[in-house]
Amino acid sequence: MPDKKSSQNKPAVADALNALLADSLALYLKTKNYHWHVEGPRFRDLHLLFDEQAAQILATIDPIAERVRKIGAPTLRSIGDIGRHQSIKDDDKAGVGADAMIANLAADNETLLAQLKETKDAAEAAGDIATSGLVDGWADDAEKRIWFLKATLGG
């Protein structure tokens, strides 16, 4: 017999996962944007770093969405739906400098890490060990991206 408290907390897990999905999609696109538009003396290193990080983020998107579906909830359905759920802000500016790109991505990965912690808390409250376990690896990846970006800035 399922735990009543766990069943009541499933919507919170789905909501947290959908917010995480929206932020992951927003961060993926921002990282690719910077990958496409970085210029300057560190072009090659940053171009490759941003591409590597974007690929890592992209690899989490399908598992997040599928986890939402596995727990019986609907997931995001459109760009508009993503926009309504994301907390990571888009960057539509032209001519963003390399250091600003790096700083923005470091801050956005910190936002994503906070979202991962909220998702972990919701999963633990619901007794959802599968979601809780998945989040651990994604959090470690986010921490590594933050470390690389901050080290690239020299701080």
Look up the domain containing 51 and give its range.
4-153
SS (H, E, C) 80-97: HHHHHHCCCCCCCCCCCC
Task: Give me the chain's average pLDDT, please.
Answer: 94
pLDDT of residue 155: 62
pLDDT of residue 36: 98
- In this structure, the number of other CB atoms found within 10 A of the CB of residue 97 comes to 11
pLDDT of residue 8: 60
Q: Which residues of the chain have pLDDT under 70?
A: 1-9, 155
What is the spatial distance between Cα 46 and Cα 58, in angstroms, rounded to a whole number? 18
pLDDT of residue 1: 44
pLDDT of residue 10: 85
CATH assignment at residue 31: 1.20.1260.10
Give the torsion sign (CA, 135, 137, 139, 141).
negative
What is the spatial distance between Cα 20 and Cα 113, in angstroms, rounded to a whole number? 9
- Into how many domains does the chain fold? 1
Instruction: Dig out the tokens for 68 from the structure.
Output: 């939402």
Instruction: Dig out the tokens for 41 from the structure.
Output: 């003396």
pLDDT of residue 75: 97
Instruction: Dig out the tokens for 60 from the structure.
Output: 């989490």
Q: Which amino acid is at 104?
A: N
Query: Reduced to 3 states, what is the DSSP secondary structure of residue 39?
Result: coil
Instruction: Dig out the tokens for 125 from the structure.
Output: 């409250």
Query: Reduced to 3 states, what is the DSSP secondary structure of residue 30?
Result: helix
Task: With residue 117 as reference, give the H or E element that holds it.
Answer: helix 98-126
Does the model's pTM come out above 0.85?
yes
